[in-house]
A = this chain, B = another copy of it.
Amino acid sequence: MTKKTETDGLAKLVESVLANYREHGRLIKVGVSDQINREAVIEVVHKLQALVFPGFFSQKPVRQDSLAYHVGDLLESVRHDLTKQTERAFRQQQAAKKISGAPVVINSFLERLPSVRNLLAADVEAAYDGDPAAFNHDEIILSYPGVFAITVNRLAHELYLLGVPLIPRMMTEHAHNQTGIDIHPGATIGHHFFIDHGTGIVIGETTVIGNHVKMYQGVTLGALSTRGGHLLDGVKRHPTIEDHVTIYSGASILGGATVVGEGVVIGSNAFITRSIPEKTKVSVKNTELKFMFDKRDEPAPETLQDEFWDWVI
């Protein structure tokens, strides 16, 4: 292509893209001087992680004599950046009345940090107690995806409760990208919460989880029906899980009226759509397997009905 052809070609491309922009107003953010900045939100997440677990993720060592400065610097940085992004979020949602309240909202959020840390301390203990493969607490804090996910979620949940739009979900979707664990910031989660492995977990917005709950990869705490779309806003659509429940891999528990009672154990791959009384163990009944020993022989199927509970707690 000649240079002129190239320039003409580019001009045509630009024109066709601009024309398409005009057709789809929802897909552009132009002329918005304060567009919420996703990178800035992710940066805040990592500074909050550094505040929650000081010294674990720093490039430079954190020293006792300078600890107050380190903390003050991080807190101020988070306060500034998060307030700015929150103002932008309110502005975008045309919640103009709220914009001036952003500093107070973020201050309230930061005042919650000690409470969030208390919960996370218990979560780390739960991880250590719940996983024989855990080498020590350092390993858990440094590398367990479940701990990263619950750290981000507890922080995002506080912002959600304070009515901050957009940002909580951006934070949890970042954690979802990193860990494969998808917990909506609206979910309410008690203390000593442990996710082991975690890839594929989905926990919906109106889920309520009690204390000392443990779950494995692929678990869904979800909604039964999305019929009604946005008429369902505000309605409880996701289940309630009471204290001391264990949910094995691949299980699904669905429905806003579904309550899993205290001490219940849900077996792998169970599909639950109604409430379970306390202290019950629930497993999939038909775990029958079919065996074929050799393709050429008469298949000698041998069915095997495992008692899940002979083998598992």
Contact check, A142 vs B118: say whether CB atoms are below 8 A apart: no
Contact status of A10 and B76, CB under 8 A, knowing A34-B61, A281-B292? yes
Binary CB contact string for chain A from 121 to 161 against chain B (1 if under 8 A, 0 otherwise): 10010000111111111110111110000000000000000
- Interface residue from B14, B23, B37, B182 paired with A118 (Cβ < 8 Å): B23
A277 to chain B, nearest CB (A): 7
Point out the residues of chain B lying under 8 angstroms from A71, CB to CB: 14, 17-18
Contact check, B280 vs A292: say whether CB atoms are below 8 A apart: yes
Point out the residues of chain B lying under 8 angstroms from A120, CB to CB: 27
A17-B113, A29-B62, A225-B312 provided; 9 other pairs, C-beta below 8 A?
A13-B79, A14-B68, A23-B118, A35-B55, A135-B169, A199-B202, A250-B252, A254-B311, A274-B306
Contact check, B113 vs A16: say whether CB atoms are below 8 A apart: yes
Give Cα A72 to B220, complex, Å: 44
Contact status of A58 and B31, CB under 8 A, knowing A182-B199, A220-B249? no
Q: Within residues 203 to 240 of chain A, which ones have a CB less than 8 A from any CB in chain B?
A: 204-205, 217-218, 220, 222-233, 237
- Interface residue from B23, B143, B290 paired with A283 (Cβ < 8 Å): B290
Point out the residues of chain B lying under 8 angstroms from A135, CB to CB: 165-166, 169
Contact status of A180 and B197, CB under 8 A, knowing A27-B52, A55-B32, A283-B289? no
Contact check, A200 vs B218: say whether CB atoms are below 8 A apart: yes
A311 to chain B, nearest CB (A): 5
What are 8 inter-chain pairs, A to B, with CB distance below 8 A? A20-B114, A30-B64, A130-B229, A133-B204, A249-B252, A250-B250, A273-B308, A279-B293
A304 CB–B CB distance under 8 Å:
yes
Q: Specify the chain B residue showing the minimal Cβ separation from A114.
A: B20
